[in-house]
Amino acid sequence: MTEHTTEHTTEHTTADTTADTTARTKIPLGSDLAVGRIGYGSMRLTGEGLYGEYPDREAGKSFLRQAVDAGVDLIDTADVYGPHTTETLIREALHPYPEHLVIATKGGLVRSGPELSTIGFVGNPQYLRQSVHLSARRLGVERIDLYYLHSGWAKDASFADQVGTLAQLREEGMIKNIGLSNVSVEQLREARDITEIAAVTAHYNVVARQERPLLDAAEAAGAVFVPWQPVSLTTPGDPTDTRGSATVATALAAVADAHGATVPQVALAWLLAVSPTMLPIPATTTLGHLRENLAAQDLRLTDEEIRTIDALA
């Protein structure tokens, strides 16, 4: 749900300038969309603690435009980011949207103050309906490309009623594709009995693999798996730290050196090798780091390197 990315200081530019970005693989998302293997998570385009407006609004809008120019074709956001400020920033920066650009947003969380402890979970069907309509209004669209239920933790309505509400909204034309965020394998199965699920997002990376059963279930269901905090080398719930433990950092650094890459690029390349339906959404606010992230699509790890990273869990 939350991601705090520590900026790394080195920039790998060779892949940025030599890669044929037009040849990069795309994966299907839902019935009629296709996106690149690495998207962009926009939650850091907020104020401190993911609360309030991004401090330099014009710089934020410029960054989003440059991100799309650099090859980003999926931007992930949520109504709780800010709250609401990231959705409006995306609209101000990019509307009318390029035809190839997919915007994903989420609903079902509320936040009443700057502390993360004020976040709560709401599944009331009327609230979810309102959330979808307001997100569409803030984004400036009639139909949302991909809309996630932000968690499976709300207790004020049954999970089935929450998913059913989104299914109704899709029938009404407000949502093109439905996704699930932070759910269990059992909830994914329950949701699929109600409607098609195009994407599942959860915390998953080199050192946090607790959601592997969910990844397997999503892959079996034909849903894209979208890991958040994908370059973190710390345990779940900790702020993102691309340094990690000495063992993990040493192993990834050796692989990175062999390819003339960075450790975050190796972490992303490993994710892409884990599953053909993997679509990481790393967050950053600098163009250099964003280009590094996208260039990880062009990094091919050897079987031995993949086995070495697999063994780090």
The model's pLDDT over 145-159, given as tens digits with 9 standing for 90+, comes to 999 999 999 999 999
SS3 at position 105: strand
- With a cut of 80, say whether residue 100 has pLDDT above it: yes
Q: How confident is the model at residue 14, as a pLDDT?
A: 37
Tell me the percentage of the chain whose pLDDT exceeds 70: 89
The tokens for 69 are 């120019």
Q: Which of 40, 51, 54, 81 is catalytic?
A: 81
The model's pLDDT over 197-250, given as tens digits with 9 standing for 90+, comes to 999 999 999 999 999 999 999 999 999 999 999 998 866 555 566 656 888 989
Question: At a CB cut-off of 8 Å and minimum separation 6, what does 76 contact?
Answer: 39, 40, 41, 42, 43, 104, 105, 201, 226, 228, 281
Q: How confident is the model at residue 109, as a pLDDT?
A: 98
With 0-12 / 13-18 / 19 or more C-beta atoms within 10 angstroms meaning exposed / middle / buried, residue 36 is: buried
Q: How confident is the model at residue 313, as a pLDDT?
A: 79
Tell me the percentage of the chain whose pLDDT exceeds 90: 86
Terminal CA-to-CA distance of the chain, rounded, Å?
Answer: 22
With 0-12 / 13-18 / 19 or more C-beta atoms within 10 angstroms meaning exposed / middle / buried, residue 236 is: middle
- With a cut of 70, say whether residue 62 has pLDDT above it: yes
SS3 at position 178: strand
More confident residue, 2 or 23: 23
The model's pLDDT over 103-129, given as tens digits with 9 standing for 90+, comes to 999 999 999 999 999 999 999 999 999
Strand partners, 180: 149, 200
The answer to whether 2 and 182 are in contact (CB under 8 A) is no
Q: How confident is the model at residue 232, as a pLDDT?
A: 87
pTM of the model: 0.91
The model's pLDDT over 241-290, given as tens digits with 9 standing for 90+, comes to 665 688 898 999 999 999 999 999 999 999 999 999 999 999 999 999 99
Q: Catalytic annotation on 54?
A: no
Q: How confident is the model at residue 241, as a pLDDT?
A: 62
In the block, residue with structure tokens 């163009």: 287
The answer to whether 268 and 294 are in contact (CB under 8 A) is no
- Amino acid letter for position 27: I
The model's pLDDT over 17-39, given as tens digits with 9 standing for 90+, comes to 345 565 689 999 998 999 999 99
Cβ–Cβ contacts within 10 Å for residue 131, how many? 26
